[in-house]
Amino acid sequence: MDFYFGLLQIIGVHTILGLSAYIVLLTGQVTIAQAGFFAIGAYIAGMLTVLAGWHLVPAMLVAALVAGFVACLVGFPALRVKGLMLVVATTAFGEAVRLFWFNFDYQIAKGDVQVGPLGGEGFKQIRFFPENGWTTGDVALFIWFWVAVIMAGLWWMDRSRAGAVLRAVGEDELAAQSVGINLTAAKVSAFAVGGFIAGIGGAIYAHYTTHIEHANFGVILATFAIAYPILGGLSSVLGTLLAVIFIQGFLVEGLRFLGDWRNLLFGALIVLAMNVRPRGLIDERVLNTLRRTFSIGQGGGNA
Amino acid sequence: MLELDGLTKHFGGVRAVDKLSLSVKEGEIFGLIGPNGSGKSTTVNLICGVFPVTAGSIRFAGADITAAQPHQALAAGVVRTFQNIRLFSNLTVWQNLWVAQNGMESRKSENFLKRWLSGDAPARRSVEELLEFAGLIGRRDEYAGNLSFGEQRRLELGRALAAKPKMLLLDEPAAGMNLEEVGHLDQRLRKLVERGVTILLVEHVMELVMGVTDRIAVLNFGQKIAEGTPAEIQNDKAVQEAYLGGSSGS
């Protein structure tokens, strides 16, 4: 049973990470910085619970606010660059964050052991869950509660005017400006909200693995972050969830029996999926079919 | 209403617009014509703040909008359309009009958060009116990218009106239209003027320009070479030379 709870935890955290990239991608900005915000959330929440003895929830929210604030700071210079240049800039930022934690030591004595982040050795003993007697089932439930909250929030945002504004910016910045949309506000707020969500994901991740180190937050993780919403399709947050289940559940776990061949097939299957469904697993057509089936009503008139 | 004074824009060594001064009066349709590359579109881009101005000033309704960002120019009442249609093709017709509800009235009437998240009731009513104006009521939930060319042009004009502009800058609205459609456009522009909108029309289609405008300015190599009524312009030596002697006029 623990295996399945573990899988649920991974899928949950990666969904949060993917959703953090989803909102930034809506504005047409390809960001490789999400792993950086994720790392900031992880380390800060870890330090607050381990070193300062906070409860996880406030620690998580403070860590997410810090990550969101940093994202805001990244968002302003990111306004000036687009496309590949933005990819390069955000990659550089992500690496800078990783290297910061690689060099960051702050340990205090707790009983007879030293706790806290220790540079290249990482941050061990983030034992909030075991110390408070949470079972893996409790943890999975806790994670999925936050997944549900974030997904519901983004779903609602998507159907509100803000969602349409972000999409308008993503489609054509010049036209968006000329109908009076404030580009700076739209892009920076997308970055800030994305950073906040990544911070929450990082905070949860630090606590369920209990041991984090700089190498967890490299470019690979950042690539996964944008791969989920792109593979899932930017029509709906459901796409991101489906893509995480597809990659983490099916490709990573489901194909484990293939041994070393798994990694090869992994890449090939993603390429295949993108070829068959170029606008993502869940595109506008699927979404419209779903809407008709559940007769939620079309997005426009009554949104 | 709109006053350009010594407006200049250099791109590197190229003087795209050179000491352009002109004044558009309230309630008129003012034509801006000239051969390709004469600086018409650049002028439009300068007025609505897409490019920073090199020198000179732009005043609109008494306010200085020389350094305004596009959304600030729009807040002042200046809205433009594009030479090549630039709709949000993966948004529906309804959403295209909805995101464009950034006019002054809705700014004042509701608080920021509400306007940002849902748009206000007047904005929704305004979307309905615009759907009717553009003749797209039955197509409201269609993605803009699926509309026909004529429908897209109508939607773009509707979207520009969504901000309740005092002045419209139309960048070649008749491009790609047949004569019948140009006739419809002519009528629609006159209707807009009746509603109190001032129009700056950048256009190549002479049937439209000569028929609908009150006054015309002619640009060549970024400089104004003539200004006057359509009849005066048609008989102007310098203008004939620019068009006939130039390499690629229409």
> Considering only alpha carbons, which residue of chain A is nearest residue B158?
A179
> Considering only alpha carbons, which residue of chain A is nearest residue B116?
A162
**Residues constituting chain B:** 250
User: Are residues A161 and B119, on separate chains, in Cβ contact within 8 Å?
Assistant: yes
The 10s digit of each residue's pLDDT in B8-64 is: 999 888 889 989 999 999 989 999 998 888 889 899 999 988 888 999 999 998 889
Q: Is the pLDDT of residue B191 over 60?
A: yes
**Which of A27, A158, A161 is the best mutation test for B, with the most CBs of B within 10 A?**
A161
Count of pairs with CB atoms under 8 A, one residue in A, one in B: 96
Q: Does A174 touch chain B (CB under 8 A)?
A: yes
A124 in any annotated domain: yes
A286 confidence band (pLDDT: 50, 70, 90) = confident
Rounded CA separation B245/B103 (Å): 44
Q: Do B55 and B8 touch, CB atoms closer than 8 A?
A: yes
A302 confidence band (pLDDT: 50, 70, 90) = very low
Highest mean pLDDT: which range of A241-250, A264-273, B103-112, B122-131: A241-250
SS (H, E, C) A204-260: HHHHHHCCECHHHHCHHHHHHHHHHHHHHCCCCHHHHHHHHHHHHHHHHHHCHHHCC
The answer to which of A139-153, A203-217, B124-138 has the lowest mean pLDDT is B124-138
A297 in any annotated domain: no
A303 confidence band (pLDDT: 50, 70, 90) = very low
Rounded CA separation A11/A140 (Å): 10
The 10s digit of each residue's pLDDT in A134-161 is: 988 899 999 999 999 999 999 999 888 8
Q: Is the pLDDT of residue A91 over 90?
A: yes
The parent domain of residue A117 ranges over: 2-218
Between these two residues, A86 and A292, which has the higher pLDDT value? A86
Q: Is the pLDDT of residue B237 over 50?
A: yes
Q: Is the pLDDT of residue B2 over 60?
A: yes
Selecting from A167, A175, A300 the residue whose C-beta is nearest the C-beta of B90 gives A167
Q: Which residues of B touch A178 (CB under 8 A)?
A: 48, 50, 70, 74, 79-80, 82, 160
Q: Which residues of B touch A180 (CB under 8 A)?
A: 70-71, 74-75, 79, 100, 102-103, 163
Could you tell me the strand order of the sheet in which B14-24 lies? B14-24, B2-11, B55-60, B63-64
Q: Is the pLDDT of residue A299 over 50?
A: no
pLDDT of residue B111: 58
B1-77+165-250: which CATH topology?
Answer: Rossmann fold (3.40.50)
Q: Is the pLDDT of residue B218 over 80?
A: yes
A140 in any annotated domain: yes
Q: Does B141 touch chain A (CB under 8 A)?
A: yes
A114 in any annotated domain: yes
pLDDT of residue B115: 59
Number of H helices, E strands in chain B: 11, 10
Residue boundaries of the structural domains of chain B:
1-77+165-250, 86-160
For B187, other C-beta atoms within 10 Å of its C-beta total: 10
Share of chain A above pLDDT 70, in %: 97
pLDDT of residue A20: 96
Q: Between the CA of residue A156 and those of A170, A257, A303, B187, what are the distances in Å?
A: 18, 40, 9, 41
B245 confidence band (pLDDT: 50, 70, 90) = low
pLDDT of residue B102: 75
**Which of B99, B117, B142, B155 is the best mutation test for A, with the most CBs of A within 10 A?**
B99
Once rounded to an integer, what is the mean pLDDT over residues B122-142? 86
Once rounded to an integer, what is the mean pLDDT over residues A27-47? 94
A136 in any annotated domain: yes
Taking each helix axis as running N to C, give the angle between helix A136-159 and helix A183-209, from 0 to 180 degrees, rounded to the nearest 10. 170
Which of B161, B171, B220 shows the shortest CA–CA distance to B191? B161
Once rounded to an integer, what is the mean pLDDT over residues A44-70? 95
Q: Does B91 touch chain A (CB under 8 A)?
A: yes
Q: Give pTM, 2 decimals.
A: 0.84
pLDDT of residue B101: 83
In the numeric block, the tokens 């079919």 are attached to A289
pLDDT of residue A154: 95
The answer to which of A42-46, A60-64, A217-221, B203-207 has the lowest mean pLDDT is B203-207
pLDDT of residue A99: 95
pLDDT averaged over chain A?
89
Strands B198-202 and A122-124: unpaired
User: Are residues B141 and A178, on separate chains, in Cβ contact within 8 Å?
Assistant: no
In the numeric block, the tokens 């097939």 are attached to A265
Residue A53: Cβ-neighbour burial (10 angstroms; 0-12, 13-18, 19+):
exposed
User: Are residues A164 and B99, on separate chains, in Cβ contact within 8 Å?
Assistant: yes
Strands B167-171 and B198-202: parallel
A284 in any annotated domain: no
A217 confidence band (pLDDT: 50, 70, 90) = very high
The 10s digit of each residue's pLDDT in B95-119 is: 999 888 875 544 554 555 665 555 5
* Global ipTM: 0.79
Residue environment code for B109-130, b if the CB has 16+ CB neighbours within 10 A, otherwise e: ebeeeebbebbbeebeebbeeb
Rounded CA separation A266/B164 (Å): 53
* C-alpha gyration radius of chain A: 19
pLDDT of residue A298: 45
Task: Give Cα B201 distance to the centre of its chain.
Answer: 6
Q: Do A97 and A74 touch, CB atoms closer than 8 A?
A: no
Q: Is the pLDDT of residue A103 over 90?
A: yes
Total domains in the fold of chain A: 1
In the numeric block, the tokens 């426009």 are attached to A300
Taking each helix axis as running N to C, give the angle between helix B179-194 and helix B149-161, from 0 to 180 degrees, rounded to the nearest 10. 10
Q: Is the pLDDT of residue A38 over 50?
A: yes
The 10s digit of each residue's pLDDT in A160-191 is: 888 999 999 999 988 898 888 888 889 999 99
Beta bridge partners of B216: B31, B228
Q: Do A37 and A202 touch, CB atoms closer than 8 A?
A: yes
A180 in any annotated domain: yes
DSSP 8-state assignment for residue B216:
E
Q: Is the pLDDT of residue A78 over 70?
A: yes
Q: Which residues contact B96 (CB under 8 A, 6 or more apart)?
A: A168, B87, B88, B144, B155, B159
